[in-house]
A and B are shown apart, each in its own frame.
Chain A
């Protein structure tokens, strides 16, 4: 889940005493004034990297990694992050954010592969990932890993069910103890990205304790809408983005919302906007301070910002292969798989766009800003 720098500074300061590498003071010493963007990226030759760039364009590191990664889980206070292998990866990479050093190649357990997303618990000891049980393809698994702070190594500790099929992104609810998980509903076999059950998908939005207990499980009307990406506002409002696997010309909701205490339901988006998304949403980011939600639609080459409460459109703009999006002070930073990255200042009704001095293209679906 992308965090604003302000939020992360707060968490980091609170946890500084636990830091094994010198903690927050060491981290801020390397961070400078510009937010640090963490993402998976490729180069022109197809080599995969775990990268960190400051939003002012300065490169922090670009570490070659064997497998293409998807999302990044930043540790709450140590200068480390896990770059999570893209499904059906069996490797993820723990990176030292000070210099890009590869601290550990985290291998998935036997009969498991990663789905591309993970989160660290706020106290910094535990990491949770979404995984596939390849003996029972599609059975969602919440992998649990303990961080050995002395050795800076993640050690598999156990797992729980995600109470659904084909889990994808997960994020913390405001209590910091329960997780919201998008179970995409699609079964894939180990080593494959081929969907096996497009006629019998079972997507669901699950809220569960990090220890495994199911708190709620809800579905949308259209079973072919795979619930994949999500973000959580400070008040517990969850927004999800779907990918529709039915006929390309159909018009179905591709965004949904679960407000605290209310049922999970489609977020009000016009048919015109839905048609511009080309049935595919990629990244969701909520700006809690500004009560806004942003979404990338790379197949439609479209980027959107809406008011989280009223659903009013603040921005509906073309952007080639827009990929990761994260909240930053004043608005959102957006990367692209094909073009230049942008910053959108959405503090006023007249949203302003600014090109970022980051390298253009080859940015993967998600980013983490801190």
Chain B
């Protein structure tokens, strides 16, 4: 239910200057050229995943290679989207339906197998009623890549689940996209101010930046958790995101590119040339180090000779986060968080 917005704070002068407001221009550009396309690409990758699953599961002799490629793409688009998911996807527990990470207690395996044990041939309806633990890409990855599953020999058991997850992801992404595109939806709320969600373009821009900075913080967690930073330095390889598909580093790269797409648009608003140079360099440092990693993350964290490399990468991510969270936020006069992050 929506409130009827009474636009009492809009004066004629605001309307006249809105078109020449650089912050509003950047906000609109971000919405049109970065955020919405990222959501559309995520949706498209889910459609391709549905096609690939149906092809694989209806042709028992089909190669699993095409399905793996479609999965990598869907996971990559989701990773790219995470620093950009301001609005509907970040609300209502929706993102948990896409991916269940971290999975500290190996719940994905237990709940997936338990669900399949309880049902002869899983229906879409049954999956919709099941826990988010089994609805997303993490359960899909388990079935596709975990050696204990032996998918090729157990199509009957696992194909209904793979099909159900892919269709669930497609339906979820289409519903989120609809919330962006509907009249008065998220796209309009990042274009026409004031609106039900934001009083000014500044509030919209701040929300985008907060999401992006949170996304960079999540990158630190995705690297730091398997490194053992939360576990007295004892490596946790099976806590790495996407360890089964060995795509942890590729996912980090996709997320970094998503975050950087925001920075590329925001850069013009920053008044401090030295800060712009520093943040550009911070992105380049992280990207270069990620590109130079020689093996999957779950292997690197277990190899002492790579410890220093990972520690340096973590420091580079930390530097990027700090530059944006403190210096960039201050320069743009953007609040990063208050009650939501530090309430009571």
Interface residue ranges, A against B (CB under 8 Å): 42, 44, 70, 86-87, 116, 168, 228, 248-249, 251, 272, 275-276, 280, 282, 298-302, 313-323, 337-340, 344, 350-355, 357, 360-365
Query: Which chain A residues border B5 with CB–CB below 8 Å?
Result: 352-353
CB-based contact B339/A321 at 8 Å: yes
CB-based contact A337/B340 at 8 Å: yes
A-B contact pairs, 30 of them (CB 8 A): A87-B344, A249-B96, A276-B91, A298-B339, A301-B340, A317-B1, A317-B2, A320-B198, A320-B203, A320-B206, A321-B337, A321-B338, A322-B339, A337-B337, A338-B203, A338-B335, A339-B206, A340-B199, A340-B200, A350-B4, A353-B4, A355-B8, A355-B194, A355-B199, A361-B335, A362-B335, A363-B338, A363-B339, A364-B338, A365-B343
Query: Which chain A residues border B8 with CB–CB below 8 Å?
Result: 354-355
Interface residue ranges, B against A (CB under 8 Å): 1-6, 8-9, 91-93, 96, 100, 131-133, 194, 196-200, 203, 206-207, 210, 330, 333, 335, 337-340, 343-344
CB-based contact B3/A339 at 8 Å: no
Q: Which of B1, B9, B96 contacts A313 (CB 8 A)?
A: B1
CB-based contact A44/B333 at 8 Å: yes
Query: Which chain A residues border B339 with CB–CB below 8 Å?
Result: 282, 298, 321-323, 337, 363-365
Please classify the interface of chain B as helix (H, G, I), strand (E, B), loop, or mixed, using the class held by over half of its residues. loop
CB-based contact A338/B338 at 8 Å: yes
CB-based contact A116/B344 at 8 Å: yes
13 more CB-based (< 8 A) A-B contacts, given A339-B206, A352-B5, A354-B8: A44-B335, A70-B344, A249-B93, A272-B92, A299-B343, A301-B91, A337-B337, A340-B9, A340-B203, A355-B9, A355-B194, A357-B9, A360-B199
Query: Which chain A residues border B335 with CB–CB below 8 Å?
Result: 44, 337-338, 361-362
Query: Which chain A residues border B197 with CB–CB below 8 Å?
Result: 318-320
- Bound complex: CA A278 to CA B100 (Å): 16
- Bound complex: CA A370 to CA B13 (Å): 34
CB-based contact B92/A362 at 8 Å: no
CB-based contact A352/B199 at 8 Å: no
Query: Which chain B residues border A357 with CB–CB below 8 Å?
Result: 9
Q: Which of B3, B93, B337, B344 contacts A344 (CB 8 A)?
A: B3
- Bound complex: CA A350 to CA B4 (Å): 7
Query: Which chain B residues border A251 with CB–CB below 8 Å?
Result: 93
- Bound complex: CA A89 to CA B122 (Å): 54
Query: Which chain A residues border B100 with CB–CB below 8 Å?
Result: 249
CB-based contact B198/A352 at 8 Å: no
- Bound complex: CA A360 to CA B194 (Å): 14
- Bound complex: CA A251 to CA B131 (Å): 10
- Bound complex: CA A318 to CA B186 (Å): 11
CB-based contact A339/B199 at 8 Å: yes
